[in-house]
Chains A and B, each alone.
Chain A
């Protein structure tokens, strides 16, 4: 694929590591999180914190089902969402009680993580180059370069990356860059007892996700849907894809995220026009005759 502004900022980009300058890159790595087998044990959250030395970030009681972690952030790189909501019993699925119960309560768990976007806004807007694309196609912050400008924080369309206030720099999931370079599975996937979190080559994971979706649909789980699997989506496909059992926003995921840099070409053009506008306008202001 030719490296043009358009292909580098939106749409499918199969050679993401090569486009970032790696001559010979290993297969792109990612996560497939199959929420249909998540039991909400939070082993992933704990394993991530342990392996990555992520500090404790408050022990709050939220009242939001079993979720006291609340959201991804600088000190939470895996977050298990607990969706607990009433459903009319008629919507219950027979055969396994997979997504509901006869009492009319739907209980969904999903372990969220950085999407390691194909077109990662955090990386695109980072002015120092602290955020970079690894040879595995993942997105990682170089902590010795980050100067805490915070630009990546509002740029991420999923609200993943954040600043650690007392430190000043930004932090997020590295997809265990230090493990996968040694053929080790990332800590969260390693600790997951149900294989809800699967790690591997992104191409394989996409196939696995599609198969799993087919199986579930055949079993009558009609709400099952994939999230982040399509290279045609707004971020060119995520490196971390999900199988969800409800619409994405129920889990706190944006339903149709688009990388902001897709529109940056037009923004630069308009900035240029506006700058010329100031020059012309000011010249006009001096054109009048002096009193």
Chain B
């Protein structure tokens, strides 16, 4: 630190930062960081948690459910297929409403399809959704009404293919920002979201499909949950200071709840293949776990944008490291 201490602009790191440094055995003096009256440097997202974190969950649930539905259809598990198709159609419908509701100018939602732009995950996502949503809805409608079963099946396979993208592109959507907790996790979020979506879709299958057909949902749930938990743990170990945003406050509580619900749900799912009731409890726990994960990640991002520490400390370290190597 080159600047003198004292005055309103210099803050000490909170105790946890010191602990983290000691954990990693880095021998550096306790760093204070400078800020402008502790004011945020970044703007936190203007998004409503209910709309956008809700969409992160519902989009994941929908996308992976379409995959589960296609598999169930092809392997003649009509009960699981119907539950997953209806789940996907319902989740994506609510998603679209939430996404339009979240716009500052909802009546201009169609401007989302004015251009297609690879550098904008939101643009890519809008096109993906315009392909996916009609297919998911058609597949569910055909299942329920019995009209055009072959076309319905084809639509379902299309929805399954696009659904894998719907469930994962949202990772790029949040990571492609300056929000420290999101951007710093950009190597993890795609896989975390894939795991969380698969666990949620499997959970829905366990919750609502007949026990005799629930095998694939059970395996998907356990596998997805395992991926989600492992990637989350790796994220916390490796992304540096931003990891604290996932461990503290509201985000910390949500992430903890997610870990418990997902872990317990997966464990119960693994052993409940003979019990309808326990399978349902496991499924509900997994779905709730996925909700908690998405809201936890959302809150971690918001918190990391509000606290200048998450911006200044790592950037200052990066800058000093570069100066030492060039000097």
How close is B3's CB to chain A, nearest CB, in angstroms? 6
B19-52 Cβ-contact flags toward A at 8 Å (1 or 0): 0000000000000011111011111111100000
Which of A150, A252, A257, A277 has a CB less than 8 Å from the CB of B191? A277
9-residue interface stretch from A19-27, A35-43, A159-167, A213-221: A159-167
Given contacts A149-B122, A168-B103, A270-B190, contact A278 B64 (CB under 8 A): yes
Which of B4, B33, B183 has a CB less than 8 Å from the CB of A91? B4
Which residues of A sit under 8 angstroms from B10, Cβ to Cβ? Answer: 85
Is the C-beta of A148 less than 8 angstroms from some C-beta in chain B?
Answer: yes
Asked whether, in the complex, the Cβ of B6 is within 8 Å of the Cβ of A85, the reply is yes
How close is B97's CB to chain A, nearest CB, in angstroms? 15
Given contacts A85-B8, A267-B186, contact A127 B120 (CB under 8 A): yes
9-residue interface stretch from A181-189, A194-202, A282-290: A282-290
- Nearest CB in chain B to that of A273: its residue: B190
Please tell me the number of chain B residues within 8 Å of chain A, measured between CB atoms: 93
Asked whether, in the complex, the Cβ of B198 is within 8 Å of the Cβ of A268, the reply is no
| Complex Cα spacing A148 to B168, Å | 23
Interface-centre pick from A162, A254, A276, A286 (highest chain B CB count, 10 A): A286
Asked whether, in the complex, the Cβ of A147 is within 8 Å of the Cβ of B37, the reply is no
How close is B190's CB to chain A, nearest CB, in angstroms? 4
9-residue interface stretch from B133-141, B170-178, B239-247: B170-178
Main DSSP-derived SS at the B contact region? helix
Given contacts A9-B119, A154-B301, contact A256 B37 (CB under 8 A): no
Is the C-beta of B112 less than 8 angstroms from some C-beta in chain A?
Answer: yes
Asked whether, in the complex, the Cβ of B176 is within 8 Å of the Cβ of A261, the reply is yes
Asked whether, in the complex, the Cβ of B168 is within 8 Å of the Cβ of A274, the reply is yes
Is the C-beta of B159 less than 8 angstroms from some C-beta in chain A?
Answer: no
Asked whether, in the complex, the Cβ of B120 is within 8 Å of the Cβ of A124, the reply is yes
Asked whether, in the complex, the Cβ of A148 is within 8 Å of the Cβ of B194, the reply is no
Asked whether, in the complex, the Cβ of B36 is within 8 Å of the Cβ of A264, the reply is no
Which residues of A sit under 8 angstroms from B37, Cβ to Cβ? Answer: 62, 64, 67
Is the C-beta of B324 less than 8 angstroms from some C-beta in chain A?
Answer: no
Which residues of B sit under 8 angstroms from A257, Cβ to Cβ? Answer: 178, 315
Asked whether, in the complex, the Cβ of B198 is within 8 Å of the Cβ of A281, the reply is yes
How close is B130's CB to chain A, nearest CB, in angstroms? 12
| Complex Cα spacing A253 to B64, Å | 41
Is the C-beta of A31 less than 8 angstroms from some C-beta in chain B?
Answer: no
Which residues of A sit under 8 angstroms from B120, Cβ to Cβ? Answer: 124-127, 151
Which residues of B sit under 8 angstroms from A29, Cβ to Cβ? Answer: none
Asked whether, in the complex, the Cβ of B68 is within 8 Å of the Cβ of A282, the reply is yes
Which residues of B sit under 8 angstroms from A84, Cβ to Cβ? Answer: 7-8
Is the C-beta of B111 less than 8 angstroms from some C-beta in chain A?
Answer: yes
Is the C-beta of B297 less than 8 angstroms from some C-beta in chain A?
Answer: no
| Complex Cα spacing A215 to B227, Å | 58
| Complex Cα spacing A170 to B41, Å | 18
A42-76 Cβ-contact flags toward B at 8 Å (1 or 0): 00000000000000000000101001001101000
Which residues of A sit under 8 angstroms from B33, Cβ to Cβ? Answer: 249
Is the C-beta of A192 less than 8 angstroms from some C-beta in chain B?
Answer: no
Asked whether, in the complex, the Cβ of A252 is within 8 Å of the Cβ of B108, the reply is no
Which residues of A sit under 8 angstroms from B308, Cβ to Cβ? Answer: 249, 252
Is the C-beta of A251 less than 8 angstroms from some C-beta in chain B?
Answer: yes
Asked whether, in the complex, the Cβ of B8 is within 8 Å of the Cβ of A64, the reply is yes
Is the C-beta of B316 less than 8 angstroms from some C-beta in chain A?
Answer: yes
Residues in A236-258 with C-beta less than 8 Å from chain B:
246-247, 249-257
Asked whether, in the complex, the Cβ of B71 is within 8 Å of the Cβ of A271, the reply is no
Which residues of A sit under 8 angstroms from B64, Cβ to Cβ? Answer: 278, 282
Residues in B136-192 with C-beta less than 8 Å from chain A:
160-161, 164-165, 167-169, 171-172, 175-179, 182-183, 186-187, 190-191
Is the C-beta of B126 less than 8 angstroms from some C-beta in chain A?
Answer: yes
Chain A: residues with CB nearer than 8 A to chain B? 8-9, 62, 64, 67, 70-71, 73, 81, 83-88, 91, 106, 121, 124-130, 145-151, 153-163, 167-170, 223, 246-247, 249-257, 260-261, 263-264, 266-268, 270-271, 273-279, 281-286, 288, 290-291
In the complex, 24 of the A-B residue pairs with CB atoms within 8 angstroms, ordered by the A residue number, are A64-B8, A64-B37, A83-B36, A146-B104, A147-B104, A149-B102, A149-B122, A154-B43, A158-B41, A159-B40, A159-B178, A168-B105, A249-B36, A255-B319, A263-B183, A267-B171, A267-B186, A270-B191, A271-B169, A281-B194, A284-B219, A284-B223, A288-B216, A290-B215
A85-B10, A151-B120 known, 11 other contacts, Cβ within 8 Å: A70-B39, A130-B111, A148-B108, A150-B45, A155-B177, A159-B43, A170-B104, A249-B36, A255-B316, A285-B68, A288-B216
3 pairs of A and B residues whose beta carbons are closest in the complex = A148-B104, A85-B7, A168-B104
